[in-house]
Amino acid sequence: MLNRHARGFFTALFSPVARWLLRIGVSPDAVTVVGTLGVVIGALVFYPLGQLWWGTLFITAFIFSDVIDGIMARMQHRGGRWGNFLDSTLDRVADGALFAGLAVWFFTGGANPPIAIAAIVCLVLGMVVSYARAKAEALGFHANVGIAERAERLVSVLVVTGFTGLGLPVVVLFVTLCLLAAASLVTVIQRIVTVHRQSLEEPEGTTPERAG
């Protein structure tokens, strides 16, 4: 939802940056990789040290690479499968690092195991949300539905985590993570139901073997 509504705004905002990067010879793939490395460093270095505010600022500085690389690819007319694969794969790495960093801090110096557990649950369910769509599309279905897509997950976690570092009560972060986990679970169920309905419309004898 947020992706669709914000795409036009961010495209206009970052197009000059994308155009400049292409002009100096930077590739969309390089932006994807550097952006992911920045997010991973911010999440796995700053967060475990308890630097939630500075870590969030650091991550935010790199998170928009996910927008810029797409703009660059469109400018080069390179919306191919390789770029899509690389972008989606590294998105999972970045998301995993984000929630893992929170879990490490709140299991250790943050001394709040409920928040750490909630972060791990969000990590797992977020991966399942993405996998459900990818697997559905690999089988010829569509599963682009749900109330907790990646943009919503990132914005909610980063905003609340950052302000927690400035003194916002940690209970707000706990509630946010719980709501996010619940929304992710609902999204997984929505995608399963959507694919199941499509499967019922398939002709008999077209069902592939189950994967292990």
User: What's the CA gap between 129 and 91, in Å, rounded?
Assistant: 13
pTM of the model: 0.88
Count CB atoms within 10 A of the CB of residue 4: 9
User: What's the CA gap between 78 and 65, in Å, rounded?
Assistant: 16
Tokens of 197: 């309905």
Query: Does residue 95 carry a catalytic annotation?
Result: no
CA distances from 105 to 14, 141, 198, 207 (A): 33, 39, 42, 45
Instruction: State whether residue 140 is helix, strand or coil.
Output: coil
- Percent of the chain, pLDDT > 90? 71
- Residues in contact with 82: Cβ distance below 8 Å, sequence separation at least 6, in sequence order: none
Residue 2 in this model has a pLDDT that exceeds 80? no
pLDDT at 4: 57
Residue 1 in this model has a pLDDT that exceeds 50? no
Residue 207 in this model has a pLDDT that exceeds 90? no
Q: Which of 106-115, 154-163, 197-206 has the lowest mean pLDDT?
A: 197-206
Please tell me which residue in 66, 69, 87, 91 is annotated as part of the active site: 91
**Would you say 121 and 148 are in contact if contact means Cβ atoms under 8 Å apart?**
no
pLDDT band at residue 159, thresholds of 50, 70 and 90? Answer: very high
Instruction: Compute the mean pLDDT over every residue in the chain, rounded to the nearest whole number.
Output: 90
Residue 20 in this model has a pLDDT that exceeds 80? yes
What's the angle, vertex CA 49, arms to CA 46 and CA 50, rounded to 5?
90
User: What's the CA gap between 121 and 185, in Å, rounded?
Assistant: 10
User: What's the CA gap between 74 and 82, in Å, rounded?
Assistant: 14
112-154 pLDDT tens trace: 999 999 999 999 999 999 999 999 999 999 998 988 778 778 8
Tokens of 7: 């795409």
